[in-house]
Amino acid sequence: MAFKVLVTKYIPEKGLKELKKHCQIIMPQKGEEFDDKYIMGIAAEVDAIIAVRFNVSTEFINKAKNLKVISVYGVGVDNVDLEKASEKGIIVTNLPEVVTEATAELAFGLMLALSRRIVEADYYLRNKNDKNWHPFLLLSNELYDKNLGIIGFGRIGRAVARRALAFGMKVYFYDKAYTKDDKFNMDVQYSSFSNILENMDYITLHVPHIKSTHHLISKYEFQIMKNSSFLINASRGPVVDQKELISALKNKEIAGAALDVFENEPEVPQELTVFKNVVLTPHLGTTTIETKTKMAFEAANKIIQFINGGTPTNIVNQ
């Protein structure tokens, strides 16, 4: 019987070309989707899954009697029941390297759009344009010479730092795994978590969503931030307490926020959509032609490694 791989959503077929030589691929056509009922119905048939924005739950794992590999199409694995997968001896892999540059670009783009009020300016021209282009129209803030605090200094955090330095920003970072032996070959300075919250002009988050980072930024954190500070989150939605963010914006405890991720995606609180000083995008961190194709290739390669008798790279549940 042929080795079967389920791809839960359409991804670039170019990246699956080599995988097709080794197995049967079950994937929706471009523009179409598999519903949860269909996926659950074929769970017992599949040997591997490329999980594309799909919750690999206990129920799915229990139904997937032949499942051997879960190749997550992204970095975060909070959509996989790792405990159940490990219990069943199922390998879980992710893609920590390939998403770095695209995600860093978006995070920096959000920060720039928020600071220079680019989204507001676009809306003004499309919907109002009263021709009153006075010298202080949509007055905004420069990034140059401002203090940027990066929370989480892994691959993406460091990629954001490189971009910020090119813009003339002063870059500080906090990472709980940092040691004095770490060398980054760039002009950045380690700072405490509290100092970043209290003193930075811009704060950008680049941490995984795990128990210790759930609501990492909540009521107290917003209270100690400067009223002029901006928050950017392109990591995981639940890292920020969304209700407290809304409250902080209403009370002008911070100057604004830019979000690519949300607590209960794809749901976005209506309250967030009314703030002019908030920029929102629908989880587009890795959504570039180049990165999506690379992700397809790498996710497929994990399964090829397994089929060929090797150990897949980037196993997260060893």
* Encoded tokens for 141: 């803030």
Give the pLDDT confidence score for residue 141 in this predicted structure. 98
Calculate the average pLDDT of the chain.
Answer: 97
Catalytic residue (one of 236, 253, 263, 298): 236
61 has a pLDDT exceeding 90 = yes
312 has a pLDDT exceeding 60 = yes
pLDDT 10s digits, 70-105:
999 999 999 999 999 999 999 999 999 999 999 999
Catalytic residue (one of 18, 97, 265, 267): 265
Percent of the chain whose predicted confidence (pLDDT) is above 90: 99
What one-character-per-residue DSSP string does 10-44 give? ---GGGGTTGGGTSEEE-PPTT----HHHHHHHGG
Give the pLDDT confidence score for residue 87 in this predicted structure. 97
Domain spans in the chain, listed from the N-terminal domain onward: 4-98+288-307, 100-280
**Structural contact between residues 114 and 230, judged by C-beta atoms closer than 8 angstroms:** yes
Name the pTM for this structure.
Answer: 0.92
**Structural contact between residues 253 and 219, judged by C-beta atoms closer than 8 angstroms:** no
Q: Residue ranges of the alpha helices (H) in the chain?
A: 36-42, 58-63, 82-87, 100-115, 118-127, 155-166, 193-199, 219-224, 242-250, 270-273, 289-307
Q: Which residues contact 108 (CB under 8 A, 6 or more apart)?
A: 160, 163, 164
Residue 314: closest CA among 54, 97, 17: 97
Amino acid at site 104? A
pLDDT 10s digits, 101-137:
999 999 999 999 999 999 999 999 999 999 999 999 9
**Structural contact between residues 200 and 173, judged by C-beta atoms closer than 8 angstroms:** no
Catalytic residue (one of 206, 209, 283, 298): 283
For 54-65, what is the mean pLDDT? Answer: 97
Give the integer Cα–Cα distance in Å for 68 and 306: 9
pLDDT 10s digits, 260-274:
999 999 999 999 999
Residue 52: closest CA among 103, 8, 107: 8
* Encoded tokens for 246: 């809304």
pLDDT 10s digits, 182-234:
999 999 999 999 999 999 999 999 999 999 999 999 999 999 999 999 999 99
Rounded CA Rg of the chain: 21
Strands 147-151, 278-280: pairing kind: unpaired
Give the pLDDT confidence score for residue 318 in this predicted structure. 84
Give the integer Cα–Cα distance in Å for 192 and 204: 14
Phi and psi of 25, rounded to 5°? Answer: -105, 130
Give yes or no: 53 in active site. Answer: no
Give the pLDDT confidence score for residue 252 in this predicted structure. 98
Give the pLDDT confidence score for residue 1 in this predicted structure. 57
Class of domain 100-280: alpha beta
Are the folds of 4-98+288-307 and 100-280 the same?
yes
Q: Which residues contact 285 (CB under 8 A, 6 or more apart)?
A: 99, 102, 103, 106, 107, 234, 260, 261
Give yes or no: 265 in active site. Answer: yes
Cα end-to-end span (Å), the chain: 28
Class of domain 4-98+288-307: alpha beta
